[in-house]
Amino acid sequence: MSNVLRTNCAIIGDSCVGKTSVINPENSGKNYEMTLGCKISVKSVRIPDTKYKVDIFVHDCSGKQLYCDILDRLWSDVTLIIVAYDVTSEASFRSVKDWHTRCTKATQEHPTFGVLLACKTDLSNRRTVTLAQGESLAKELGLQYFECSARDGSNLDASFFYLAHEWYKLYMEKVESFSNAQL
């Protein structure tokens, strides 16, 4: 039997960048279906060579302005973030900072850590945002950079794997500090 760690993760970014497809890749070939408000799904990641499994509750948030109020409330419970953009859309790349700022403001009390996710890398001939640009923005925002394509299925689990490992490491650090706690 394994021990289960839990965490709330929000995937944010402009509409249409591919957020829902990263979570449900089987949808990436279908017609666009707008996410209303927020949908929650669970990604389970086993930490190799340990008895631990991390359940990431992924909150897939609509990029539409209409739902901003819901988002601000949700973010106070979020501990991990994935900020996504579309490598064929410079506008979505420019929005990353705004999304990140809003989310970190709402979660100040419990600092989050997260991922900058470049989506739709299969569209290489239409790509306008380069790997170097992505990496440099990730560094500036203190995020880990990943690329993926829901269409060809490449690298989809990497960001969840990374987040699960970071959560596990944080947990190990904290229980260590609990065992040394004194009045």
Ligand X SMILES: Nc1nc2c(ncn2[C@@H]2O[C@H](COP(=O)(O)OP(=O)(O)O)[C@@H](O)[C@H]2O)c(=O)[nH]1
Contact flag: residue 39 with ligand X (CB under 6 A): no
Name the residue nearer to ligand X (CB basis): 23 or 45.
Answer: 23
Judged by beta carbon distances under 5 to 8 A according to partner kind, the member of Mg ion, ligand X, other proteins, none in contact with residue 57 is other proteins
Look up tokens 């289960």; give the residue: 4
Q: Alpha-carbon distance 126 to 108, whole Å?
A: 37
Phi/psi for 177 (5° steps) reads: -70, -35
Contact flag: residue 20 with ligand X (CB under 6 A): yes
Contact flag: residue 35 with Mg ion (CB under 5 A): yes
> Which residues within the stretch 7-26 sit at the binding site for Mg ion (CB under 5 A)?
19-20
CA angle 123, 129, 133 (to 5 degrees): 140
What's the token pair of residue 115? 């991922």
Given 34, 42, 44, 77, the residue binding other proteins (CB under 8 A): 77
Name the residue nearer to ligand X (CB basis): 52 or 85.
Answer: 85
Coil, helix or strand at residue 47: coil
Kindly give the interhelix angle for 90-106 and 131-141, rounded to the nearest 10 degrees.
10
* Stretch in the footprint of other proteins (CB under 8 A) among 49-57, 90-98, 115-123, 154-162: 49-57
Name the residue nearer to Mg ion (CB basis): 20 or 79.
Answer: 20
Name the residue nearer to Mg ion (CB basis): 54 or 149.
Answer: 149
Contact flag: residue 20 with other proteins (CB under 8 A): no
Q: Running DSSP on this structure, what letter comes out for residue 50?
A: S
Judged by beta carbon distances under 5 to 8 A according to partner kind, the member of ligand X, Mg ion, other proteins, none in contact with residue 113 is none
The residues that bridge with 83 in the sheet, in sequence order, are 12, 116
Q: What is the CA radius of gyration of the chain?
A: 17
Q: Are 7 and 171 in contact (CB under 8 A)?
A: no
Given 29, 30, 32, 110, the residue binding other proteins (CB under 8 A): 110
Contact flag: residue 32 with ligand X (CB under 6 A): yes
Q: Alpha-carbon distance 102 to 26, whole Å?
A: 30
Residues in touch with ligand X (CB under 6 A) = 15-21, 28, 30, 32, 35, 63, 119-120, 122-123, 149-151
